[in-house]
Amino acid sequence: MHMVKILDTTLREGEQTPGVSFSVDEKVEIARRLDEAKFHMIEAGHPAVSKDVAYAIKRIASERLNAEVLAHSRALISDVDAVISCDVDRAAIFIGVTEKKLKSMRMTPEMAIDAAVNAIQHAKDHGLRVRFTAEDATRADYGYVVRICRAAVEAGADRLSIPDTVGSMTPERMKRLFSDLSRDLNAELDAHCHNDLGFAVANALAAVEGGATAVHTTVNGLGERAGITPIEPFAVAMKVLHNVETVDLSKLPQLSLLLEKYSGIPVPPNQPIVGENAFSHKGGVHAAAVIFDPETYEAFAPGLVGRQREIVISKYSGRVAVEDRLKRLGIALSDSELDAVLSAIKEKPEIRSYRDTDLLELAERATGKRLEVQIPKKIEALVLVKCESNVYTTAVARRILWIKGVERVIEISGDFDIEAHIQVDSISQMNEVLENIRVIKGVTSTNTRVILKKFNSEDTN
């Protein structure tokens, strides 16, 4: 399998996600982090959209990153001029190529070719490299796609993007399309796959098998509607299935968290690679086998992306899992003691999973023994949050809940609007959580109380 370049378009396609708008500083930080993770190309935005979009692109271009920086442009001289003034490496010029889209623009196929060629030549005249995008190519007439792409290459485009703009392709058709295009066109081919049917990762892999030399992705799969190919499963699949290195896989979880924070779009727990549960085992049979040999229930080791395997302790757990967890806490119990712990767990089906402290407490009760362990003491605090009077408190509460270290959030009445329960390992982590709460739009002030001791109602029985 050949080398594949990754173009990240979180800042362009990703900002087209409903509800998402990044600040200029956030964009610059995202671009730096993408560069550190060795992304090859960064599509920084479409400068004709607004002044702040153009300004962010200029700032990113002035960072002199290793990654090639691109700006998006319609096939219009005025859009290309906006790209030229951003000082980027490459213009990404697009025009719709389906019959319907041409009609809506009141253009004949020949007029669209002329518009593309003029825009490309204009960009080339100003020293820019050019990628040409035949928008909605997968639903357009193949002969016309080849014709407009050949004209684009002749005008100076050395990359062509073939987007599946509405995500309606299947992997089989994608592979065939890209192998036909690699035969008929003399340029590097980019695949840009939307996820409307859930095939964005599979279609991108198939495009690569057909001959694509670059794939467009976003962090967490952000983008219009259902988004596009998420980098996390795509890059891992390239490594695991084809042994091809793309970006630095160990940086993906952090990038995902950063984008969860800046986009406000939460990552579901069952999301591959970066979801909370992606490396957790729960069923008794699964846990026992994984503890014996991880490969029994893992396609690849979590360490590949810098994460750790988790064994969930719940009513589904068997002896092996409970024994293993207690052992890791430095506690060895006899068979009968383990039985007592296990049956105590099974008697509380309402508890979805046990944290170490809860498991220990339960084990102490079940065995009647005092268990001495070395678990790092957690720091807990209650943070009271006041919101601006015109903001929707629930939206702020939800954003607080996504911050790592926040365990629980409740809306309250009185002087403050929200109470957040925080649990972290260190004071510096505590400061980080507080900082993350304070920067949320709509938060006016916070008041933090460190928890010294807790009492449960059961303790008094």
Mind telling me the catalytic residues? 286
**82-90, 161-169, 397-405, 418-426 -> range binding ligand HCA (CB under 6 A):** 161-169
Contact 38, 247 (CB under 8 A): yes
SS3 of the chain: the string is: CCCCEEEECCCCCHHHCCCCCCCHHHHHHHHHHHHHCCCCEEECCCCCCCHHHHHHHHHHHCCCCCCEEEEEEECCHHHHHHHHCCCCCEEEEEEECCHHHHHHCCCCHHHHHHHHHHHHHHHHHCCCEEEEEEECHHHCCHHHHHHHHHHHHHHCCCEEEEEECCCCCCHHHHHHHHHHHHHHCCCEEEEEEECCCCCHHHHHHHHHHHCCCEEEEEHHHCCCCCCECEHHHHHHHHHHHHCCCCCCHHHHHHHHHHHHHHHCCCCCCCCCCCCCCCCEECCHHHHHHHHHCHHHCCCCCHHHHCCCCEECCCCCCCHHHHHHHHHHCCCCCCHHHHHHHHHHHHCCCCCCCCCHHHHHHHHHHHHCCCCCCCCCCCEEEEEEEEECCCCCHHHHHHHHHCCCCEEEEEECCCCCCEEEEEEECCHHHHHHHHHHHHCCCCEEEEEEEECCCCCCHHHHC
Task: Name the residue nearer to ligand HCA (CB basis): 91 or 288.
Answer: 91
Q: Shortest distance, CB of residue 246 to ligand HCA, whole angstroms?
A: 18
Q: Shortest distance, CB of residue 163 to ligand HCA, whole angstroms?
A: 3
For residue 192, state whether it binds ligand HCA (rule: CB under 6 A): yes
Task: Name the residue nearer to ligand HCA (CB basis): 48 or 92.
Answer: 92
* Residue from the set 73, 98, 138, 161 that interacts with ligand HCA by CB under 6 A: 161
User: Cα–Cα distance between 37 and 31 in angstroms, integer?
Assistant: 10
Size of the site for Cu ion (CB under 5 A): 1
Binding mask 122-141 for ligand HCA (x = CB under 6 A): -----------x-x------
Task: Name the residue nearer to ligand HCA (CB basis): 135 or 419.
Answer: 135
**17-25, 117-125, 159-167, 249-257 -> range binding ligand HCA (CB under 6 A):** 159-167
Q: Strand 418-424 relative to strand 379-387: parallel, antiparallel, unpaired?
A: antiparallel
Q: Shortest distance, CB of residue 1 to ligand HCA, whole angstroms?
A: 22
Task: Name the residue nearer to ligand HCA (CB basis): 133 or 367.
Answer: 133
For residue 94, state whether it binds ligand HCA (rule: CB under 6 A): yes
Size of the site for ligand HCA (CB under 6 A): 12
For residue 17, state whether it binds ligand HCA (rule: CB under 6 A): no
Name which of residues 12 to 51 contact Cu ion (CB under 5 A). Answer: 13
**158-166, 293-301, 403-411, 434-442 -> range binding ligand HCA (CB under 6 A):** 158-166
Name which of residues 221 to 240 contact ligand HCA (CB under 6 A). Answer: 224
**10-18, 55-63, 258-266, 367-375 -> range binding Cu ion (CB under 5 A):** 10-18
Closest C-alpha to 46, from 133, 144, 155, 107: 133
For residue 92, state whether it binds ligand HCA (rule: CB under 6 A): yes
**5-13, 255-263, 312-320, 368-376 -> range binding Cu ion (CB under 5 A):** 5-13
* Residue from the set 13, 260, 323, 419 that interacts with ligand HCA by CB under 6 A: 13
Task: Name the residue nearer to Cu ion (CB basis): 47 or 96.
Answer: 96
For residue 196, state whether it binds ligand HCA (rule: CB under 6 A): no
Q: Shortest distance, CB of residue 193 to ligand HCA, whole angstroms?
A: 9
Task: Name the residue nearer to ligand HCA (CB basis): 228 or 437.
Answer: 228
Residues near Cu ion (CB under 5 A)? 13
The footprint of ligand HCA (CB under 6 A) covers 13, 92, 94, 133, 135, 161, 163, 165, 192, 194, 216, 224
